[in-house]
Structure 1
Amino acid sequence: MEERVPAGERGATRITERVVAKLATQAAREALRAERAVVGAPRRKDGGPTASAVVRRSPGADGTGGLATVRVAVELGYPSDIGAQCGAVRRQVVRRVGELAGMELQEVTVAVERLHSPELDGAASGTLR
């Protein structure tokens, strides 16, 4: 019979900033997809939000106790409830990074980099900056 080693003695898993950023990007994409379904905002053509992360502390052997900060950049349809969309992104990023990486997010910054307006599609710009 194989001997089981207690979790605290097996070693540690280090979750990198790149992994946390990918999790945050996917969570933001999920939040915006759900928000679009509610408000009918237009889909972006270039793949969606991007994120960067700084890991302050990796989770312990029990998979908890990690600490990070995240910045998510999004483009949104306009007119829309920008505050509600940013809030939905923030909540989903906190929830999913916590679930999947065992990390508490000390800070989540949601930066709106562009607003897309269907009224301007086909015009010279199409994007409000």
Structure 2
Amino acid sequence: MSTATPRATPAPVPAADRGATRIADRVVAKIAARAAREALDAPPGKSPHAVVTVHHDIARVRVSLELAYPSDLAAQCAAVRRLVALRLEECAQLTVPEVAIDIERLHPATPFRPAPAGRDRRLR
């Protein structure tokens, strides 16, 4: 005759504590690129591009931009760095120690418009 003690049922684990969530690097890169576009108030055609590497909870971010010139390039880059880091911390709970910026191209702040074509006038 054996006298086995009944096993206690373990307490259920809350759903939020079960499993793991992994966000793909390309998804994190899309979040970073969108945040950069928001920081610059850039039109959709001139979207920044981001490359991200995530290791554990740390994201290394590189953003490529096209900026208007003449303008305050340093201020625009600082705004991009701040918003990209903030968005990745808010949306993906990632630590972003730095955001590297590559300015790939500068374009005129105002669109170039050629002088209207008119008739040549000859003076007599």
User: For the residues of structure 2 that align with 1:15 and 1:104, how far apart are their CA atoms?
Assistant: 14
User: Are 1:71 and 2:62 an aligned pair?
Assistant: yes
Residue 113 and residue 14 in structure 1: after superposition, are their counterparts in 2 closer, same or farther (change >3 A)? same
- Map of 1:39 onto structure 2: none
Higher helix proportion, which one? Answer: 1
User: For the residues of structure 2 that align with 1:26 and 1:69, how far apart are their CA atoms?
Assistant: 16
Shift of residue 56, structure 1, vs aligned partner = 1.1
Residue 4 and residue 28 in structure 1: after superposition, are their counterparts in 2 closer, same or farther (change >3 A)? farther
Gaps of 5+ in 1: 34-42, 58-65, 124-129
User: For the residues of structure 2 that align with 1:49 and 1:25, how far apart are their CA atoms?
Assistant: 5
Please identify runs of 4+ aligned residues in structure 1 that moved more than 2 A: 3-8, 43-47, 118-123
- Map of 2:89 onto structure 1: 98
CA deviations over 1:65-92 (Å, ceiling 9, x no partner):
x111000001000000000000000000
- Residue-pair matches, total: 103
Residue 120 and residue 88 in structure 1: after superposition, are their counterparts in 2 closer, same or farther (change >3 A)? same
Shift of residue 114, structure 1, vs aligned partner = 0.4
- Map of 1:27 onto structure 2: 35
Larger Rg belongs to = 2
Higher strand proportion, which one? Answer: 1
CA deviations over 1:44-82 (Å, ceiling 9, x no partner):
57341010100011xxxxxxxx11100000100000000
User: For the residues of structure 1 that align with 2:62 and 2:107, how far apart are their CA atoms?
Assistant: 21
Query: What TM-score results when the alignment is normalised by the length of structure 2?
Result: 0.74
The CA RMSD over aligned residues, in Å, is 2.0
Gaps of 5+ in 2: 1-10, 115-124
SS of the equivalent of 1:51 reads strand
Query: What TM-score results when the alignment is normalised by the length of structure 1?
Result: 0.71
SS of the equivalent of 2:100 reads strand
Residue 87 and residue 72 in structure 1: after superposition, are their counterparts in 2 closer, same or farther (change >3 A)? same
Shift of residue 107, structure 1, vs aligned partner = 2.3
**Identity level (%):** 50
